[in-house]
């Protein structure tokens, strides 16, 4: 029996390529690894539409957070209604994750992007939270106006907006 290490694990339904997606995500994030892979049994072929022996799920960790991807077929599609936030302390970190994950750079907005598997991510500077919750509404207004014009977040431009 495999011990479950985390009470809540996000599961992402993909049409196909769960194994490729997990390998890709593990290559992007440090401190990450594939935990285990399960395969469709014969009993699930009719219900799932997947062949016996094909990859069913892959469990993996990214920066200590456990995830699972499922090869579920075309019944459900990913949308921007759910995204994973990656908080970054530096512009270099933002640039790194943006360049690794963004699949259609022209279509991205406000730090939000989609990767090549259709999963939505938000690449966010750590300082944005304190900037957008500042007690001075004029600061919040300036910062918000600045980031609404951005595709990829620019920390120096946000700091300028914050300082007025």
Residue 24 located in a structural domain: yes
> Do the domain assignments include residue 140?
yes
56 domain residue, yes or no? yes
Residue 67 three-state SS? strand
Whether 130 maps to a domain, the answer reads yes
Any residues with CB less than 8 A from the CB of 96 and at least 6 apart, and which? none
What is the model's pLDDT at position 37? 98
> Each residue of 61-112: pLDDT tens digit?
999 999 999 999 999 999 999 999 999 999 999 999 999 999 987 778 899 9
Total domains in the chain come to 2
How large is the average pLDDT for residues 11-33? Answer: 97
CATH of the domain at 54: 3.30.720.100
Give CA–CA dist 164/46, Å, rounded.
61
93/38 same-domain check: no
What gap in Å lies between CA 148 and CA 64, rounded to an integer?
31
pLDDT, residue 45, reads: 87
Q: What is the mean pLDDT of residues 141-159?
A: 97
CATH assignment of the domain containing 111: 3.10.180.10
Residue range of the domain that includes 28: 11-71
Residue 153 lies in a domain: yes
Domain boundary among 27, 44, 71: 71
pLDDT digits (tens, 9 = 90+) for 56-71: 999 999 999 999 999 9
């Amino acid at each position: 029996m495999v011990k479950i290490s985390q009470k809540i694990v996000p599961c992402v339904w993909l049409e196909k390529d769960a194994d490729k997606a997990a390998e890709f995500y593990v290559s992007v994030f440090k401190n990450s690894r594939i935990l285990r892979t399960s395969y469709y049994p014969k009993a699930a072929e009719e219900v799932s539409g997947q062949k016996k022996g094909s990859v069913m799920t892959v469990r993996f960790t990214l920066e200590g957070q456990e995830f699972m991807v499922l090869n579920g077929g075309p019944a459900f599609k990913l949308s921007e209604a759910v995204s994973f936030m990656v908080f970054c302390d530096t512009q270099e970190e933002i640039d790194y994750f943006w360049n690794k994950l963004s699949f259609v750079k022209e279509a991205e907005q406000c730090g939000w992007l989609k990767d090549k598997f259709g999963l939505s991510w938000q690449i966010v500077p750590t300082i944005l939270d304190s900037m957008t919750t500042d007690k001075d509404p004029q600061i919040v207004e300036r910062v918000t106006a600045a980031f609404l014009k951005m595709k990829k977040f620019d920390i120096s431009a946000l700091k300028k907006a914050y300082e007025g």
